[in-house]
Amino acid sequence: METNIQKTERLIREINRIHTQYSQDYFETGKVQKINLSHTLQNVPREHILSYRLNLHEAINDYLAFADTRGIDFFYRVKTAESINDKIARYLARENEVSA
């Protein structure tokens, strides 16, 4: 029988595997313009961020259907668009205070 530590390690491996697969599916297809995040957040188009969030939200169950999560109770959430917009606004306000 798996210990809680072993289950946690397996869950982390699955999260990493799903993240890698999602990133390849999302970014390597050429359907989405890659954005260099080394620039300030102010230069990243908001629609790119929200499009990524929507795509992730819609795809996550598809990836979990093939994940090895048997015997592991967990839940997940994807931030709402409003929450993301609020967080970006707070971050940009703080960034503007520092640069002023």
pLDDT per position as a tens digit, 47-76: 888 888 888 888 888 888 889 999 999 888
pLDDT per position as a tens digit, 15-51: 999 888 888 877 777 766 666 655 567 777 888 888 8
Q: How much is the pTM?
A: 0.58
Q: Write the DSSP string, 3-49.
A: -HHHHHHHHHHHHHHHHHHHHHHHHTTSSS----TTS-GGGS-HHHH
Measured CA to CA, the distance from residue 26 to residue 24 in angstroms comes to 5
Residue 78 gets which letter from DSSP? -
Looking at residue 6, its pLDDT comes to 95
pLDDT band, very low/low/confident/very high, at 82 (cuts 50, 70, 90): very high
Q: Domain locations in the chain?
A: 4-99
